[in-house]
Structure 1
Amino acid sequence: MRALILLGLVGFVAQLVDGSLGMAYGVTSSTLLLAVGTNAAAASATVHLAEIGTTLASGISHWRFGNVDWKVVAKIGIPGAVGAFAGATFLSSLSTEVAAPIMSLILLALGAYILVRFTAFGLPRGNLGKPLRKRFLAPLGVVAGFVDATGGGGWGPVGTPAILASGRLAPRKVIGSIDASEFLIAIAASIGFFVGIGSENIDFAWVAVLLVGGVIAAPIAAWLVRHIPPRILGSAVGGLIILTNVRTLLRSDWIDASSGVQAAAYLVIAVLWVAAVVYSVREYRRDKERESVEAVESELRTRAGEEEQASA
């Protein structure tokens, strides 16, 4: 019972992060399932089954708040579903001993990407309003869908930063569109896992509690996306994902590190993680101060122009 309550809380927190940041539900949930000993294919299948419900709820919530661009959803979601099905069948064909470290490596890379991306660069806002081409979104969808299924998460970490980096879509619409299109990826990946491993290795009670936690969090996250600082949240989540998956890898048969090496690695990661969060908080405050100054200067220039017109 305690494990189910914990999973429900994980589902809630993971969806709260995902709906606010456009990523990390699958990565966070899969990381926990791997940490408690679930095999890689079953962990990813469990998460994707839960995501059918959470992504539907999240997509509807984002749509109601005006955060979804349906053209982007169509252009990236359908190719993403193809990539997700392929990734699910590929992961299902690997042995548990091989799949678990591979999945942890993918999750570790995604966590590092999230941490560096949001800590160092924040959110680009350059080319707002310019159209996003299908020749960009379709290959991105295939790659992101494949990574998502094989890594137990990755649709957001691959798709969201790539679209944000283009600067052509408002951040809240990037997040809403990625969350809405993930519904297609969750369905395709789930079908792929049923084909690959069947249903006997999937604990549907775990699916249910992850789903309930995520559905409760979805409307809250859709509202928070307008208010929460993504830079700080990205740094915090990225560090957590890195720490957990390094732990899995150090304890795997691939490395089998001693307790002393493990402790040293955790200490280094924790120091870097705290430093990243502190830096993000500082840069966020600087950005807000800069925006305030620019707003005041713009208002003063406008008033000066109006006074000149009146005197003329």
Structure 2
Amino acid sequence: MLEFPEISFLDLLPFILVGLAAQIVDGALGMAFGVISSTLLGSFLGVPPAQVSASVHFAEVFTTGASGLSHAWLRNIDWTLFFRIVIPGVIGGVVGVYVLTSIDAGVARPFVMAYLAIIGLSLLYRAWRFPTPRISDPKFVAPLGLVGGFLDAAGGGGWGPVVTSNLLIQGGDPRRVIGTVCASEFFLTVSVSLAFIATMGLSAFTTATVGLLIGGVIAAPFGALVARHVRPRMLMFLVGGVLTVTSLFTIVRALA
């Protein structure tokens, strides 16, 4: 049974702040809610890995719903790309839950983060080298969604970093890529949360879930506004910078 006995505001405050910070970045850049939340919950607040992923994904059901609606309202979504990526993402996410709850998937995480750090540096180079990003329709989409969904569920975060960065590398319009990834993530998080309930029960969701949910929903509309009004080159710089910093931090922490 899902119970939160005697939760005070002070108990929730650290998790609310994590949700606020993570969702503002995620809504603006199409990535990092899971990475930031998982890092802070696991490394600084002592939440166990499976509960971290369950809490993050359950909170994201609401934060990605609010973020997706905000992006749709501001016309930041490429609906053709959305339908190409959402189904493979859901399949990969459900498989990732069963991997996380049955074996240790953390062994591969430093290698994935090293790959993402390289992608982040590539985005920084492209933003610096090409003042006007070259826009083209991404071709490698369905397998990318499958891998992104799997890594997101198994690692507690990864949909945005993997999918957003790779779509941008393929030449996707930054504003529409970010909006599309945020909107499609709603369906991924619903599926992953249901899979966690099926494998772990409602006990997977803790006080951290409530705090992330509150902070994330409050922050969701602001990220969509940022993505709408910031220039594509600056979005590329920001995505590349956040991706590089978070990936390198995760690598250092894993090897320490």
TM-score, reference length from structure 1: 0.70
Equivalent in 219, 222, 242 of residue 220 of structure 1: 222
* 1:243–1:138 distance in 2 versus 1, CA, 3 Å: closer
Distance in 2 (CA, whole Å) between partners of 1:113 and 1:142 is 20
Give unpaired runs (5+ residues) of structure 2: 1-8
Note if contact 2:167-2:177 (Cα within 8 Å) is conserved in structure 1: yes
Q: Decide which of 73, 78, 81 is 1:72's aligned counterpart.
A: 81
**Counterpart residue number, 2:188:** 185
Which whole-Å CA distance do the structure 1 matches of 2:157 and 2:55 have between them?
A: 11
| SS of equivalent residue, structure 1 residue 173 | helix
Change (3 A) 1:111 1:207: farther
Closer, same or farther in 2 for the Cα pair 1:111/1:13, shift >3 Å? farther
- 2:8 pairs with 1:6: no
Identify the residue that residue 283 of structure 1 maps to in structure 2: none
- Give the 3-state SS of the residue equivalent to 1:200 in structure 2: helix
1:154-165 alignment runs, 5 A limit: 154-165=158-169
Aligned residues of 2:119 and 2:166 also touching (Cα < 8 A) = no
What does residue range 224-243 of structure 1 map to in structure 2 within 5 Å? 224-225=226-227, 226-227=229-230, 229-230=234-235, 231-232=237-238, 234-236=240-242, 238-243=244-249
* 1:153 matched to 2:161: no
- Give the drift of 1:79: 1.2
Paired residue for 1:42, among 51, 56, 75?
A: 51
Pairwise CA distance, 1:138: 1.6
Give every structure 1 segment of 4 or more consecutive aligned residues whose post-TM-superposition deviation is greater than 6 Å: none
| Cα distance in 2 for residues equivalent to 1:110 and 1:37 | 26
- Distance in 2, Cα, partners of 1:240 & 1:2: 27
> Are the structure 2 counterparts of residues 28 and 18 from structure 1 closer, same or farther at C-alpha, using a change threshold of 3 Å?
same
Percent identity between matched residues is: 41
Deviation at 1:104, TM superposition (A): 5.3
Count the aligned residue pairs.
240
- What root-mean-square deviation, in Å, do the aligned CA atoms of Structure 1 and Structure 2 show? 2.4
Q: Which residue identity lines up with residue 167 of structure 2 in the other structure?
A: I
| Cα deviation, residue 248, structure 1 | 5.0
2:39 aligned with 1:31? yes
CA contact (8 A) 1:19 1:58 kept: yes
2:110 is matched with which residue: 77, 91, 105?
Answer: 105
Contact 2:20 2:218 in 1 (8 A): yes
What residue in structure 2 maps to residue 207 of structure 1? 209
Per the alignment, residue 63 of structure 1 pairs with 72
Q: Which runs of 5+ in 1 are unaligned?
A: 251-312
Deviations 1:258-310 (A, max 9, x none): xxxxxxxxxxxxxxxxxxxxxxxxxxxxxxxxxxxxxxxxxxxxxxxxxxxxx
Q: What's the TM-score once normalised by structure 2's chain length?
A: 0.84
1:163 CA drift (Å):
1.4
> Paired residue for 1:246?
252
Change (3 A) 1:149 1:60: same
Q: Which amino acid aligns with 1:218?
A: A
